[in-house]
Amino acid sequence: AQTVTQSQPEMSVQEAETVTLSCTYDTSESDYYLFWYKQPPSRQMILVIRQEAYKQQNATENRFSVNFQKAAKSFSLKISDSQLGDAAMYFCAYRTYTSGTGNQFYFGTGTSLTVIP
């Protein structure tokens, strides 16, 4: 079964600085998707960034970028120029490439990010 591990329960960063959140996963599949979701206190799950495993290029969305190391099964999230609004719980998630049964996401346990003014 696929598992997703986030080894940092809590992280903090100074406003305007850069922080990297770690995520590793375990799978025997070769094609899959990886995601980072943000969950602020409102509880809304917000998609931050997505990566297809078959793409070698790391995904980037404005201040958010990933370091995808397929062989190492690592998928870290880098937040540049951190802002107060980035404070939230961040979840790493894995999804299989296939449809139908197994069409589910596997989430890590989350990293709580604090942004210090």
Partner 1 sequence: NAGVMQNPRHLVRRRGQEARLRCSPMKGHSHVYWYRQLPEEGLKFMVYLQKENIIDESGMPKERFSAEFPKEGPSILRIQQVVRGDSAAYFCASSPTAPAHYGYTFGSGTRLTVV
The yes or no reply on residue 104 touching partner 1 (CB under 8 A) is yes
Residue whose structure tokens are 């599949």: 29
Structure tokens at 32: 């899959």
Q: Whole-angstrom Cα distance, residue 31 to residue 81?
A: 32
16 touches partner 1 by CB under 8 A: no
Burial of 55 (0-12, 13-18, 19+ CB in 10 A): exposed
One character per residue 62-101, x = contact with partner 1 (rule: CB under 8 A): -----------------------------x-x-x--xxxx
Q: What's the closest the beta carbon of residue 17 comes to partner 1, in angstroms? A: 26
Using rule CB under 8 A, residue 41 touches partner 1: no
Residue 64 · residue 10 · CB < 8 Å? no
User: Which residues bind to partner 1, rule: CB under 8 A?
Assistant: 4, 6, 33, 35, 37, 42-47, 50, 91, 93, 95, 98-110
